[in-house]
Structure 1
């Protein structure tokens, strides 16, 4: 079913390495979060460097705070990063270099691997729709952050 995966893309005027540096640093996730649910990081490596690594984040849902531990399940430097928590749902970012030195970023919320109960709960809570809105906001914020970081790096070069 098509509602098992929601995604959107944006083109960023920054190279994949700059975009990926933000995504691979869990402490920057609140900076780019467009959903309003991501808070501060409790535990994380300084930079994600491969699958199996975990990071724990303060979150809130419907105003209720909670902690969530994420595990990196896909990782290709400057190209792909994805994580999941206790469900099989994945948050995935795929980066593609553009001819002009920028990056097309596709963010997806993928619940196709989840069991039936999790899928039913996710649908009942309208997460596919909520995540579609959050993805659009996150991509805009990621674009702004990456372009600012690229300009800053160019000014220091």
Structure 2
């Protein structure tokens, strides 16, 4: 699948999905968030083919979400670590985890999250950065932004946001 076609869309969801919207990529990110940093650890944990893992790591490095630094010279082996933009994807991975725990974990959640600041078990929610209120589909209004335009993948949405039919 050519995920690069999504980068041309005037939609941040499409652009982000084109970059990280693959199950193996999300699982690599999950493992990096959990502290795995070496290729052999990632490979062993995920059980994915080495060429698939190599491809996903290369994409994440090329996008600036992960850095790759050698930790061994002969043979050369690398450590993979999230960069600041990569760390900012944590909320996305937590949101997927929370949804999966609610709707797909029949035997209970595979992991429990504990907020180290207060010591309490927690379930991730998306909140307003201004008032702290939880964001939900029935209390958020979308308005046109400066980068919005009618283009493949956003034709009808652009019409809805601007009120202009093309």
TM-score by length of 1: 0.24
Greater RCO, 1 or 2 (C-alpha within 8 Å, sep 6+): 1
Relative to its length, the structure with more strand (as a share) is 1
Of structures 1 and 2, the larger Rg is shown by 2
